[in-house]
Every structure is written in structure tokens, then in C-alpha cells.
């Protein structure tokens, strides 16, 4: 069967996937919320999912690593921890998709951050050691290899990423003005955001079929409106979405359920990185 890049097919419904990625302060969350409102207004159900999932146990470890540098964790181990966080979310995600999915009407799943967010991990470590970026293609392949189980379980044969790009200085200003944040983390530094922009660009050069870089700045230096950014991403990801009757769809936010975690999913990664067993919160 031929799959479209934005399509996820499961035994319990028909899903189309959007992935929005980019540096902190680029407006990913706002764009996701606006897209959800637009698509649900056309009569379709929408599920929004953001990563990392900090409520999960591996997510809590990620939070600690974002707050305090741990020199014993290298770039590959940190990527593995992010992959483990996605895996612990899988059973909850499948259960929620089953609850809201339908064969008769498409459900749109909007991911705010995804596998390709490892660009920021590359940025963080390349600040310490610029040589890390000498073989960025290997890092790119590595992150897909790590998340192969995640993609396989969710039946996502392929996906396309829209990266709303913005100057790193403006992004840093947005981060600092965000009252919902308790403070900045280790990735939210202006030089790391600058490196992040560079790495997303290099990912797009490596894999142009998978990436679209959406420049938010007009020729006058003004940032696109939230509504326009959302509509541009919808156009890129899904084309024209026909209105579904006169009804309004519902917007669901992904809810992580700790009781549904399947620890057997972690085994391939923990076997590959035995040192992470010492951090494993599911012992």
C-alpha cells in the first residue's frame, strides 16, 4: 500500500499527522493551538500531542537534565532518553486515538515536537564540542533508528515536518516574555537557539522531502500572525481541508496515563545503552 507522508492508518480509525518542530520561542505551541481551532471548526476531531511528556517518569528525568547539566550523559544517551519518553507515552496515545478515532471521518493528530527535535540536543552538545556536527548525517540517521519502534507501533510510515523559522534573538525574547515558563532551561540560551536554527536547516538539506522551513519574518521584518502561520502549515501538511457538514469537531489534548506504560518497549534501547539502566525510573 502506498502511504502519504501525512497519513497514519490504524485498525480503529483514519488519522492524518502534522509535525511542527523548531527552536524554543518559535511559536510551535501557538501554531498547534491555532491549527486545532481551525481544523475543528471545519468539523474534524483533533488530538494535540506535545513532547517531551514531563508527567511521565522518563520525562521527569528529561526535566532534570534540562535544568542541570550532567556531564556523564553524552549526546547519544540523551537522545535515547528522549526516545524512551516517547515510548512510555505510546500505550496512552494508542488508547486515546482508539477512543476518538473514526473510519468515517479523519482525525487530525498534531505533534508539537517530535523525533526531529533532537536538533536541539545536537545544538546543546555542539556548543561543548563543535566537532559533533562534522558527521551530522550519522546523527540524523541515529535518531530515526532510535525511534523506529515508536514509529512502527503507531503505524506512522512517514511524516513531514514544518519548522517555523525565526531569528534566534527574537526567539530568545519570546522565551523570556513567556509568563507560563518558570524560567529558562539549558537549551534556552541564545547561542544554542542560533545553533538549533542551523541544525534544522542542515536536516532540511539532508532530507528536503521531509522538511519545510517556514520563514515567519516578512520582508518588512514583521512576524506573521498566529492565524497565518497556522493556515500556512495546514496548507503545507494537508492542502485544502473540505468542511465536514455543519458540525464542529472537538479538540482533544493528549493525556498521559502512567498505569498504561509498557516497560517491555524500553528493552531494545536499554540493551543498547546499559548505563541508562541506572537511571531507569521503572526498576
Task: For residue 229, give the C-alpha cell.
Answer: 502561520
Q: Write the CATH number for 104.
A: 3.40.50.300
The number of distinct structural domains making up the chain is 1
Task: For residue 54, give the C-alpha cell.
Answer: 514531563
Question: Do the domain assignments include residue 2?
Answer: no
Looking at residue 220, what is its pLDDT?
61
pTM for the model stands at: 0.93
Average pLDDT by consecutive 10-residue portion of the chain (283 residues)? 47 86 94 97 96 97 94 96 98 94 89 97 95 94 95 88 93 85 85 96 96 81 85 95 89 97 97 96 92
Of the candidates 51, 4, 78, the residue with the CA atom closest to the CA atom of residue 275: 78
Question: Do the domain assignments include residue 1?
Answer: no
**Cα(245)–Cα(102) distance, integer angstroms:** 16
Question: Do the domain assignments include residue 166?
Answer: yes
Looking at residue 263, what is its pLDDT?
97
Task: For residue 78, give the C-alpha cell.
Answer: 540523551
Strand partners, 223: 217
Question: Do the domain assignments include residue 206?
Answer: yes
Question: Do the domain assignments include residue 189?
Answer: yes
Question: Do the domain assignments include residue 150?
Answer: yes
Question: Do the domain assignments include residue 283?
Answer: no
Give the residue numbers spanning the domain of 235.
Answer: 7-278
Looking at residue 3, what is its pLDDT?
36
Looking at residue 1, what is its pLDDT?
27
CA distances from 145 to 22, 76, 116, 140, 172 (A): 21, 12, 12, 9, 31
Task: Report yes or no: 89 and 56 within 8 Å, Cβ to Cβ.
Answer: yes
The DSSP line for 227-257 is HHHHHHHHHHHHSPPPP-TT----EEE----
Question: Do the domain assignments include residue 29?
Answer: yes
Amino acid at each position: 500500500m502506498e502511504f502519504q507522508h501525512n497519513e497514519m492508518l490504524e485498525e480503529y480509525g483514519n488519522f492524518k499527522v502534522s509535525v511542527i518542530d523548531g527552536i524554543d520561542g518559535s511559536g510551535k505551541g501557538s501554531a498547534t493551538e491555532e491549527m486545532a481551532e481551525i481544523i475543528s471548526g471545519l468539523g474534524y476531531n483533533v488530538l494535540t500531542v506535545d513532547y517531551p511528556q514531563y508527567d511521565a517518569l522518563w520525562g521527569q528525568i528529561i526535566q532534570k537534565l534540562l535544568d542541570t547539566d550532567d556531564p556523564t550523559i553524552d549526546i547519544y544517551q540523551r537522545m535515547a532518553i528522549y526516545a524512551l519518553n516517547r515510548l512510555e507515552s505510546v500505550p496512552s496515545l494508542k488508547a486515546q486515538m482508539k477512543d476518538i478515532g473514526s473510519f468515517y471521518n479523519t482525525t487530525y493528530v498534531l505533534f508539537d515536537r517530535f523525533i526531529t527535535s533532537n536538533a536541539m540536543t545536537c545544538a546543546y552538545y555542539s556548543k561543548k564540542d563543535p566537532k559533533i556536527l562534522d558527521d551530522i548525517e550519522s546523527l540524523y540517521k541515529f535518531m530515526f533508528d532510535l525511534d523506529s519502534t515508536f514509529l512502527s507501533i503507531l503505524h506512522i510510515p512517514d511524516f513531514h515536518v514544518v519548522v517555523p523559522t525565526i531569528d534566534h534573538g527574537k526567539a530568545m525574547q519570546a522565551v523570556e516574555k513567556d509568563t507560563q515558563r518558570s524560567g529558562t532551561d539549558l537549551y534556552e540560551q541564545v547561542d544554542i537557539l542560533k545553533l538549533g536554527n542551523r541544525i534544522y536547516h542542515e536536516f532540511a538539506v539532508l532530507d528536503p522531502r521531509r522538511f519545510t522551513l517556514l520563514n515567519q519574518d516578512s520582508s518588512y521584518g514583521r512576524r506573521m500572525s498566529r492565524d497565518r502561520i497556522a493556515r500556512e502549515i495546514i496548507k503545507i501538511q494537508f492542502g485544502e481541508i473540505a468542511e465536514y457538514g455543519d458540525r464542529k469537531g472537538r479538540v482533544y489534548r493528549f493525556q498521559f496515563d502512567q498505569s498504561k506504560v509498557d516497560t517491555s518497549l524500553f528493552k531494545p534501547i536499554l540493551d543498547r545503552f546499559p548505563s541508562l539502566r541506572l537511571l531507569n525510573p521503572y526498576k
